[in-house]
Amino acid sequence: MIYAVWLPLLAPLFAVPALRHAAAWLAPRRAAWVLLVGTVLLACCSTIAVSALVVFGLFQLEAVAAVVDVRPQQISGYATSALWAAPVACAALLVGSAQVVRIMSRHHREVRAERQAIGPAGSELSVRPDDFPYAYALPGRRGEPGHIVVSSAMLRTLPPGEREALFAHERAHLSGGHHRFLAASQLAARLHPALLGLRDPLTYALERWADEDAARAVGDRKLAARAIGRAALAAHDSKSPAARRGAILATAGGAVPRRVKALIEREQQDPPLWSRCWRAAVAAALVCGLAGTVAMTADAVEDLHLNVRIAQGDAVSP
């Protein structure tokens, strides 16, 4: 049915608020994974649905119908409304694909330029003689470790203990592969604009994940909080272009005051019963919604496949 095509396109409008809501309750690592899986799943389903509309539109063209031996008037599973939607879907798919290629190319150029600046013999820590304070995690090539890039100005800003916390934070970004999370979120938002609403929560979850790892590494949550706050405050107005590149997780990422507060505050007690029930209800609705989106996407593809076979004159058993 044609309705199965529209649901994956509309699902992000409802799933994004639910994912943001659920991520706020979870531990940082778990929140990052939930946001990543939800983002990729919604992006894939919506892209498949758009592609189904594009295929339907192509089959209405006489030249394409002749090549694949299809009689368009017999594709009955798709309503007439899909006919005018097909050109729009084609334009959206082309624009989204072009944006994905552009983002991937830009990220590749950014990371390659930073790696070339470090050189092949660079160690894990690369200190840049720069008057602007910044620090960021630079992912390595496949099979190679990444690098922690920090300016001399940032090192002068932090005392020794806070430097270690900062290095542990950036090391957590590298070991966790957080750049892949961020890249997936950026690409998904180009395929469905509603998914842009998940980028900030994912960035915050990744930064909190690295904050917690840094606090465990130095054994002092307050020290880690001071290091993060001081480094972010110093890097906030940094004029270094590298610290603002989209493929790089910079020091000032995420909501810094919230991050510092989360490190300083003691762990909260268990929420009341009504809150636990509400969270369980939201989680169940979110899981059911995502599962329904996948099911409707599969149904739309199967429906198109069956109708194409019918249009080709194939006998289809019930």
Q: Where are the domains of the chain?
A: 3-311
DSSP 104-137: HHHHHHHHHHHHHHH-TT--SEEEE--SS--EEE
Rounded Cα–Cα distance for residues 275 and 278 (Å) = 5
Contacts of 177 (CB under 8 A, 6+ apart): 139
Rounded Cα–Cα distance for residues 150 and 62 (Å) = 60
Record the pTM.
0.84
Tens-digit pLDDT string for the chain (318 aa): 466 778 888 889 989 999 998 888 888 999 999 999 999 999 999 999 888 888 777 776 666 666 666 665 555 555 555 567 778 888 888 898 899 999 888 888 888 877 777 766 567 888 888 888 888 888 877 767 788 888 888 898 889 889 999 999 999 998 888 988 999 999 999 999 999 999 999 999 999 999 999 999 998 899 999 998 888 887 776 555 555 554 455 555 557 888 888 888 765 556 677 777 877 888 888 888 889 889 888 887 887 777 666 666 654 444
Question: Are the beta carbons of 3 and 147 closer than 8 angstroms?
Answer: no
